[in-house]
Chains A and B, each alone.
Chain A
Amino acid sequence: MLRTIRLYLRLLGTHLRASLEYEADFWLMALGAAMTQVAGFVFIAAVFLRVPDINGWTFWTVALLFGMVGFSEGVINLFFEGMWWLADLKHNGELDYLLVRPYPVALQALSSQVGLNGLGNLLTGGALIVAGLVNTDIDWSPATAVVAVLLFLGAMAARVGIMLACNATTFWLEGPTSMFAFAVHQVGDLARYPLAIYPVVLKGLLGVVLPFAFVSFFPVSWLTGEGGTGWLGLLTPLVGVYCVVLAAWVFRRGLTRYESAGN
């Protein structure tokens, strides 16, 4: 297990080193990602200048939602960006060599790229989370802190799992792009707002089918007591594990369909 993780970081590190060759690009990517987060946030901040709350959610609790979504995005960019290249790897037959090496194929594919925009997303997302926690009235105790950390990890796992599963559908689709996963990624941005504002169909989509609500809404709801669905937040670690296991299963099933392009 430890060896698996060490090797994963090493694979990531090699790509990171290579991409840092272009320093100007690094800063532009980080800036672009940060600006995208900020743009969404400027909107919501401007709204809160005019209204005190959205469905009972105050400015800083919504900031927490934004922060969780942005941070999870950054986690994917920085550590699992390879998932967005899966369609490409499949289409060009580049999975061949990964399949004959003694290391899980999914991990080799996930570590095959590093998204430098991740840093921008982690920083802005992290800043929003910290600011949100500082400015929200939370009754901290050691137990709360432990649970909060567990929920946070579960939330990140849920996001990574959902997006990996969606990217792995490329084995059933034709073509060299992850357009389906891209569309789902946009659905994920809905989790930046309180779930209550959506019609019931979308609530079902975000809560059950593509459980993005567990990336932000439910864990934040448990921590802040906002929204009255806190108990669901406690399921976050379970949902996280479920999403990752599901993704691994979809990936493995997909791999048996791999046809290896070319001759």
Chain B
Amino acid sequence: MADIKYRKGKTPHKREYRLIFRNIDREGWDPSLATYEADGGYQMAKKGLAMQPGEITDEVKASGLRGRGGAGFPTGVKWTFIPPHNTKPVYLICNCDESEPGTFKDRYIVHQDPHQLIEGMILSSYAVGAHVAYIYIREEFPEGARILETAIAEAREKSYLGKGIFGSDFDLEIYVHRGAGAYICGEETGLIESLEGKRPYPRIKPPYFPAALGLYMSPTIVNNVESLCHVKHILEMGGEAYARLGTPRNTGTRILCVSGDIKKPGYFEVEVGKVTLGELIYDICGGLKEGRKLKAVIPGGSSAKVLRADERFIINQGDEKVEIGVEDIPMDFDTLMACGSMAGSGGVIIMDDSRSMSWVLNNINHFYAHESCGQCTPCREGTLWMQKITDRITNGSASPEDVETLKSVADNIEGKTICAFGEAASWPVQSFIAKFHDELVADTDEANADSVVTPEGMLATADLK
């Protein structure tokens, strides 16, 4: 990377390993095809199309790549779920709905390096046998959608897309499809419904696993922007070499997005698990603001369970059990899960001791109440109840019992909905109550005890206009 110059003030931190973000903020870089090709772009796609599709899938499996959108499911394994004797058309969908609060990585890929994504999609489409692929981009990236459309037109012009690409007999069209501001479209089956021109109500799995019954009931692979970009680098390096990046079971690099109460927020591409949360906060991001102490961290987008600064965890390290603190957690998939949270989409939100946890939770509750699609009753009603309860806690009209009511509402959403939005909405509430119970109760007032409101009561007095 020594020969790459970055724009002033944008030089990557020395702990970074830039693979996907190699060209982000690069001096003299622009999103054109000419620039991308001059840098060796599309060479891998040309080589890849001379391989057997199954060989590409095997490399991706060997790489150990886990999806970068949130669930961390192995990408290569996902591809093999397409039924073996399938006769229907196969679709590839790039999930560019980037909407998990705290996450802002796909934005930079789309705006600054769109051809990297297209190259990754060509290789992935070839591997899974898709001849039509869609990029589902959130409506709030209007410029991003235009950049992608321009990039696709440029690639088509050179026959890198369309009929018989790179002189092979492989055909591929990629289309940009804009969403319209709904978080639920990041959920893959909701996204598919949206792409079919319907309300994005998620489908129930089983039977609607997209790899078997996806878009138009055909086999469909939905992958995150970052995951698709990794495919190109996996093939360049070879799956085994790629798997040596990062740590076992948590291979490769990933982009961590840091925001909140921190001196230097931003995006940092690091080897998975090679940087601890403490190193991320203090070495890479310059630490907390002057005179402030760490209070809490949401490590993987707003749905991830919150970590309290003084928590201790027992984790397996090899055959040994060791006790670690929050700042010792390596930023990988498995350790964060062992610590009761998740790596999710890589969005790390830092909170210092000036923050009221009631206020933070209320903000999160407003988000989920707004974004619930309304299909399942526990989620549609429950998210709004949770928002109303934290509204009361923050405006001083809650009674101490409200905190228990809040927990019971969350407990009755989790596991009772069609899609994982129910968990996404209830995990913040459950974890904030588990870890900041006394602070939430302290924000309530005994004097309000007479006005205690239960879910049943709320329903009875609901504004039914």
Q: Do A and B associate with each other?
A: no
> What residues of chain B have their CB less than 8 Å away from a CB belonging to chain A?
none
